[in-house]
Chains A and B, each alone.
Chain A
Amino acid sequence: MEKSTVFNNRLLPYLLLLPQLVITVVFFYWPASQAIWQSFLREDAFGLVSEFVGLENYQALFAQPEYYRSMLTTVIFSTLVAALSLSIALLFATQADKNLKAAPAYKTLMIWPYAVAPAVAGVLWFFMFQPSLGMLARPLRGMGLDWNPLLNENHAMMLVVMASVWKQISYNFLFFLAGLQSIPKSVIEASAIDGARPVRRFWTIIFPLLSPTTFFLLVVNVVYVFFDTFGIIDAVTGGGPAGATTTMVYKVYADGRLGGDLGGSAAQSVVLMVIVIALTAIQFRYVERKVQY
């Protein structure tokens, strides 16, 4: 798609582009290329001398058991958060879509957590489940469960998953509701006339028609879990206990900051870049396809 009528100025378009290009080059391309370059270097302990070491940083990275552990943590964490937040949001959206008079009001009441900062969401959930004073931790301990997300790895993971799901439901709800409302009523009425019960209608008609939305949300949710949950993890567990909630993004941060291993941290950044580019490519392919629907 192109405009047929345009202006002919020679210099002006470059001036218009200049602010964005300068900011993009200085704060995007320069650092990104530095990350790639650094991943082939090793600095001495004082950061004074750096030598080219080829793929050594990558070899060291993939020889680390902790790195595989952070990959596994990321996979478990993303799967749990995406599966839970998508299914809970879909449940709420289907109920809100049932021609209820109050649907617009429900929409308002459901979507506002989108605006809560991930780190703040983490603090809220930590407050509820903090072992000694948490309102919800006390009943758990009262039931004889030794609830302690500060020490128990599974409890810590459950807590960050709950906080991340809570934060993401609103977004998924909004898109699911829009997706449901765009399904023609005539299709649903036709199947109702054919005698399909609501549950059958949902699985044979509505759910397949909703699949573009679901797939789109799946990709967005995985990207969300990768990056936007950093604040939640840092606020709730700080990656602990014993690295149980250290995702790949958290490890880039922790290794560069605490370990000062910039080469290794840069190599991790590059691996993440490749993963994100792959995810984005999938997303764009899907957007291309969506046009046909």
Chain B
Amino acid sequence: MVEHRPLTDFIAYAILTLGIFIVAFPVYLALVASTHDAATVVGGHMPAVPGSRTLENYYRAIFVGGSRTSREPVANMLINSFVSAIGIAVGKIFISILSAYAVVYFRFPFRKTAFWIIFITLMLPVEVRIYPTYKVVADLRLLDTYAGLILPLIASATGTLLFRQFFMTVPDELLEASRIDGAGPFRFFWDTLLPLSVTTMAALFVIQFIYGWNQYLWPLLITTQDSMQTIVIGIKKMLVATDELAEWQLAMATAVLAMLPPVAVVIFMQRLFVRGLVQTEK
């Protein structure tokens, strides 16, 4: 038994409390700023407690939009963010579970080649090849479309590797048993493999949803119309106006709204989140 002294425990709690404070403080300030009127925030004497303009600010941010910077209302951006984040998560799960199934459960010429073609994508994030990818998407006339927001971001191997790893742990006896029962590849996939993969899929979904929701550079480049903007892009554009004109209380309300869905996912699906994080980083 390692010693337990009240003093060490006290120091540990003090350091951890400080940690929580550091982590939470910027977000707390954003919350507070989103409940005051514009003059209070810009004046530089913002109180440390929430004000009384909460409903008004959020209503304006969500449904009306800023007046001075003439931005789109956030409701539309939230829809765009949800569509692209869910599209990225579902799309990646769909293509990668199929290709992992092919690579693990079939033998065919060029199997290794196909696997390596997919595997190499791990090495180059989209930021490195941003303009050529932009050009491809433009040539395909996918600018300002959901397909343009989603497809280039699902071209990656993380999901395939994750499912491949999981399929390798599925006992061979399951396949033998279903073949004796006369099951073909479709029935085995649908009745046996898919139900077993639910947790892996959910973990991947959580990670990819956060990844998709938080995208910045790619949506910034390929959305030219305000109506296609995601919320993360929207906040930045609210602050492009000079500081005195920027409506900080609305920008902060938007920031809070932009953080809410992914943070809720992490807090309420913590187990899946941690699992996905640890597995996709291997």
Contacts and interface: CB of A to CB of B under 8 A. Distances in A.
Interface of A: 1, 3-10, 12-14, 16-17, 19-21, 23-32, 34-35, 38, 88, 91-92, 95-96, 98-100, 102, 106-121, 123-128, 130, 132-135, 138, 166, 169-171, 174-175, 178, 185, 188-189, 192, 198, 216, 220, 227, 230-231, 234-235, 249, 252-253, 256, 262, 265-266, 269, 272-273, 276-277, 280, 287
Contact of B267 (A34, A99, A112, A185): A112
A266 B108 contact: no
A268 to B, nearest CB: 9
Contact of B236 (A20, A21, A234, A269): A234
A166 B152 CA distance: 29
Contact of A128 (B26, B42, B179): B26
Given A99-B4, A100-B16, A127-B29, 17 more contacts: A9-B185, A16-B98, A31-B129, A106-B19, A110-B23, A118-B216, A123-B235, A123-B239, A127-B248, A135-B29, A169-B22, A169-B23, A234-B220, A235-B239, A256-B131, A272-B128, A276-B125
Given A24-B155, A95-B15, A127 B95 contact: no
A46 to B, nearest CB: 16
B136 A30 contact: yes
Contacts of B56: none
A169 to B, nearest CB: 7
A171 B185 CA distance: 39
A135 B41 CA distance: 10
B143 interface: no
A9 B42 CA distance: 67
Contacts of A166: 22-23, 26
Interface of B: 1-4, 8-9, 11-13, 15-16, 19-20, 22-24, 26-27, 29-30, 33, 41-44, 46, 94-96, 98-99, 101-108, 111, 114, 117-118, 121-125, 127-133, 135-137, 140, 151-152, 154-155, 160, 168, 172, 175-176, 179, 184-185, 188, 210, 213-217, 220, 232-233, 235-236, 239, 243, 248, 251-252, 255, 258-259, 262-263, 265-267, 270, 273-274, 277-278, 281-282
The secondary structure that dominates the A interface is helix
The secondary structure that dominates the B interface is helix
Contacts of B184: 7
A133 B235 CA distance: 18
B266 A119 contact: no
A138 to B, nearest CB: 6
Contacts of A133: 41-44, 46, 243, 248
Contact of B168 (A3, A24, A27, A216): A3
